[in-house]
Amino acid sequence: MNRGNPQALRHPQVPLGIANIIGRSTFPSVEGYLALSLCVAVIASASVFTQFHSQPEIKRLLEEELRNNTKLTTAFGINIDTIAGSTVFQMAHYILTDTTLIWVAINSYFAILAMCTKLIIKLTFKELSRQEEVAARQAFLSYILLTIVYLSVVTGPQKGHRVMPWMIWGGVCGFLSHLQFVTCQRLKYTSPSCDRGSQRVSFISLFLFFVSIAMTFMVSRFQQHLEWQPAVLLYFDCLLAVFRSTYILFRCISSSRVFSFNPDSVRHFNYWLELATNFACELLQFLSYAQLFVFAPGLNLTSIFFLYHMKLTYNCMREQLGRHRTHKKIFEHIESAYPSVKAANSDDRCIVCWELLGTSRRLPCSHQFHDWCLMWWLAQDSSCPTCRYVIPSPQEEASRPDSGNGNTMFRFNGRTFGFFTLPSFTVEVGSSFGNIFGRAAEPTQEQLQSMLETVLEMFPQMSPETILADLRQSGSAQSTIENILEGRMGLNASLMPGVLDEDLSDDTDNELEYEEHVEVVQEPDSTRQRTWTKLSSSSGEEELSYYEIQRAKMIETYRRKYLASDKAADLRAMGITE
Amino acid sequence: MAGYALKRLMTEYKELTTRPPEGIIAAPIDEDNFFEWECLITGPEETCFANGVFPARITFPQDYPLSPPKMRFTCGIFHPNIYPDGRVCISILHAPGDDPTGYESSNERWSPVQSIEKILLSVVSMLAEPNDESPANVNAAKMWREDRAQFEKTADALVRKTLCLPASEV
């Protein structure tokens, strides 16, 4: 397979001509955008300053204009003379009255927000892994697209001064949701056990929480100046931000070490928290799209866009409920069938997660597991993990909760797909509410190809065939990415030979995890551990990892053994000894 | 399940470094990625693979230990149960759901009770006793059955290669 050639992957053929220039240029990239906007902002502000300096009459004119503006006095409640006299206000007025300068100002505002986001992410999470980066970029782009359509509907044929507050609002929302997205990803897919990392994460979660509360407060202050429709939209945005921030905050609290003595309760809590937040957020989004759809000025292209998004969020909600139902079924079965018992020895560990058992479920074969560990396992198998004692499965349809998702069910309604038969509730829902929206067509070859590229960018180690197969089922790159992250594709994921050497980074806060880990291993004074710790702490180019040292030792030992064995007679004859 | 795989992998790593099993080394390749490991296993004594030090890579899924990891030798080992590209075909590394060969009962499949150490020990015993009923490498299985001397010579050449010793001239 040509794809498997690592050389070809690392040095892709350089395209020639214009394609080369386009491919290599820094645009469109966030860095390129930031640099460009900074340049423009600097040039614009320099020109404003020089104008103010060289033409004093502008100052006088502006002062007069400001004095005549009655709105200002009511809004700020400060003496009009102070405002009119201050250069800052004069400049602001100058910029606001100039069409070009307004756009430069708005652009600089976005650039500054983007830089803040980048900085905060850098400070909190250090490096983002490749997967996180791609996911964040996808979320960001879809947010931008949405905001543009949203603005076009909300402001309609209004003038620039109506668009500006919306743009500023959209910027703040984008800033918040981007940070929330990245933090969520981190919390969701990382083991929650590092002290120093979690300090920064809790700081950012508090920050997000306060910003979203402040946003809500601001909206409620300005509510009387707004019509009810935009006000409702603003409240939706605020609520969404508050929900997400609360989720992050709670998730942060639940993952702290204080609760690590009882992993099951934490998992239970996280599960319900995630379910509730996701559902609430999707419901809110659905409502806001519905509102936009209903109140859009006339039927146009944007209506289709909103309808499409309504369908997507509706599918997400249903998918979530379906997944929850199957989980609940298994869980109820576990709770009713197996007694909760205290572990015989206090240091007994659960075989699945290797954490302390405590009070846990006992199977008929007398093996004990955490509730959630048992549930995860029973979701894919119906035997005891330890002894393979066959335990009656909860229910046929509940036996594989994660093998499909809502989109699949929506499309391949009631059909048998691969090795699983679609659960029956698909048909129920599909026939009632699903008909309103109609069924989406299967993705075309081009769509599949573009989705494949998206997924491959995040998971270069996966084979394209596997991803394509999943994409055909899920019909959306997002669900496939989720499938991979949640391990639902683990069964089929075959690795491309040759790409294994590629560094596939994962969404983990590993550096910190590792520090903690070194600490743990340092404990007693065994020579091996000391060497390792010493070596891993010493810096320098010739630093060897634990693995490399052990490998050198091992090869040395076994070479000696081999040379002493009968097989090495010819080598000994050649004079090679050790 | 997300998030718990890392915790368990770290616990396993701690175990492997504090109580290293005889003739086995395993560690994450990169400290930033606990889902990709490198390991070394030694050929079992009294077999044609004896004293060889064979490197392999293990890739863990995000929902480990619910799903099995994948193991791939990187030294071009010639063995009936190892695919020519190095992938190890061993029943405990097969998920309960799939059965590519149709030979295994579900008792031998993956279960969370397995661990990195247990996998590697199973692979060592697989090196000692190839299962030529469901071969991953048909040529190797054929040679193992019909021309044992040639098979042992191939194995010995690899052992020497992994130990950085000159190849035998015979």
What's phi and psi for A484, nearest 5 deg? -65, -45
DSSP string, A387-446: T--B---S-GGGS-TTS--HHHHHHSTT-EETTEEPPTHHHHHHHHTHHHH-PPPPPPHH
The pLDDT score that the predictor gives to residue A536 is 41
Asked if residue A252 lies in contact with residue A208, where contact means CB atoms within 8 angstroms, the answer is no
Determine the average pLDDT of the residues in A111-121: 88
The pLDDT score that the predictor gives to residue A276 is 93
The pLDDT score that the predictor gives to residue A122 is 85
The pLDDT score that the predictor gives to residue B71 is 93
Determine the average pLDDT of the residues in A95-99: 77
Determine the average pLDDT of the residues in A46-54: 84
A274–B contact, CB cutoff 8 A: no
- Using an 8 Å CB-CB cutoff, list chain A residues near B166: 571, 574, 576
pLDDT band at A76; cut points 50, 70, 90: low
The pLDDT score that the predictor gives to residue A71 is 63
Name the more confident of B116 and A492: B116
The pLDDT score that the predictor gives to residue A156 is 59
Question: Distance between the two ends of chain B, CA-based, in angstroms?
Answer: 54
| B48 classed as catalytic | no
The pLDDT score that the predictor gives to residue A294 is 82
Kindly identify which residue of chain B lies nearest to residue A557, measuring between CA atoms.
B51
For A310-351, the pLDDT digits (tens) are 898 999 999 989 989 888 888 888 888 888 887 777 778 888
CA A456/CA A157 separation, integer angstroms: 41
Mean pLDDT score across all residues of chain A:
70
Determine the average pLDDT of the residues in A113-125: 86
Compare CB distances from B25 to A517, A550, A561 and report the shortest one's residue.
Answer: A550
pLDDT band at A438; cut points 50, 70, 90: very low
Least confident segment among A112-126, A163-177, A455-469, A476-490: A476-490
Yes or no, beta carbons of A559 and B4 under 8 Å apart: no
Yes or no, beta carbons of A510 and B32 under 8 Å apart: yes
Asked if residue A371 lies in contact with residue A360, where contact means CB atoms within 8 angstroms, the answer is yes
| Tokens (6 digits) for A119 | 């900085």
Which residues does A318 contact at the CB level (< 8 Å), separation at least 6? A406, A429
- Using an 8 Å CB-CB cutoff, list chain B residues near A484: 62
Which fold would CATH assign to domain B4-162?
A: Ubiquitin Conjugating Enzyme (3.10.110)
Provide the b/e sequence for B5-18 (b: ≥16 CB within 10 Å). bbbbbbbbbeebbe
For chain A, the structural domain boundaries read 522-573
Yes or no, beta carbons of A490 and B63 under 8 Å apart: yes
Question: Looking at the predicted structure, is the pLDDT value of residue A433 above 60?
Answer: no
Of A95, A228, A102, nearest to A164 by C-alpha is A102
Determine the average pLDDT of the residues in A142-167: 69
The pLDDT score that the predictor gives to residue A338 is 83
pLDDT band at A403; cut points 50, 70, 90: very low
The torsion defined by the Cα of B50, B53, B54 and B55, in degrees rounded to 10, comes to 170
B78–A contact, CB cutoff 8 A: no
B100–A contact, CB cutoff 8 A: no
| Tokens (6 digits) for A396 | 């046929």
Determine the average pLDDT of the residues in A535-564: 72
CA distance A427 to chain B (A): 25
Least confident segment among A107-116, A162-171, A239-248: A162-171
In angstroms, the Cα distances linking A35 to A27, A31, A44, A114 are 10, 6, 14, 11
Question: Looking at the predicted structure, is the pLDDT value of residue A409 above 60?
Answer: no
B interface test, pick of A506, A514, A555 with most B CB neighbours within 10 Å: A506
**Of chain B residues 108-147, which have a CB less than 8 A from chain A?**
111-113
Q: Which region holds residue A423: left if phi is over 0, alpha if psi is between -120 and 50, else beta?
A: beta
* Residue A464 identity: P
A551–B contact, CB cutoff 8 A: yes
For B46-98, the pLDDT digits (tens) are 888 988 999 999 998 878 888 899 999 998 899 999 999 999 988 888 876 65
CA distance A410 to chain B (A): 24
A193–B contact, CB cutoff 8 A: yes
Compare CB distances from A376 to B1, B59, B98 and report the shortest one's residue.
Answer: B1
CA distance A202 to chain B (A): 17
Question: Looking at the predicted structure, is the pLDDT value of residue A407 above 50?
Answer: no
For chain B, the structural domain boundaries read 4-162
A142–B contact, CB cutoff 8 A: no
CA A222/CA A207 separation, integer angstroms: 23
The pLDDT score that the predictor gives to residue A210 is 93
| Tokens (6 digits) for A211 | 């910003």
Determine the average pLDDT of the residues in B115-144: 89
Kindly identify which residue of chain A lies nearest to residue B30, measuring between CA atoms.
A503
DSSP string, B15-47: HHHHSPPTTEEEEEEETTEEEEEEEEEEPPTTS
| Tokens (6 digits) for A10 | 């690392």
Coil, helix or strand at residue A15:
coil
Yes or no, beta carbons of B27 and A546 under 8 Å apart: yes
CA B137/CA B13 separation, integer angstroms: 31
Yes or no, beta carbons of B17 and A528 under 8 Å apart: yes
The pLDDT score that the predictor gives to residue A18 is 64
CA A135/CA A181 separation, integer angstroms: 9
A385–B contact, CB cutoff 8 A: yes
- Using an 8 Å CB-CB cutoff, list chain A residues near B34: 506, 508, 510, 513
pLDDT band at A166; cut points 50, 70, 90: confident
CA distance B131 to chain A (A): 23
Yes or no, beta carbons of B2 and A487 under 8 Å apart: yes
Name the more confident of A175 and A262: A175
Asked if residue A320 lies in contact with residue A343, where contact means CB atoms within 8 angstroms, the answer is no
The pLDDT score that the predictor gives to residue B109 is 82
* Residue B70 identity: K
The pLDDT score that the predictor gives to residue A197 is 63
For B9-50, the pLDDT digits (tens) are 888 888 888 888 888 999 988 776 788 899 999 988 888 898
Determine the average pLDDT of the residues in A48-59: 81
Name the more confident of A16 and A291: A291
The pLDDT score that the predictor gives to residue A281 is 92
pLDDT band at A186; cut points 50, 70, 90: confident
CA distance A429 to chain B (A): 28
Determine the average pLDDT of the residues in A267-296: 87
* Residue A509 identity: D
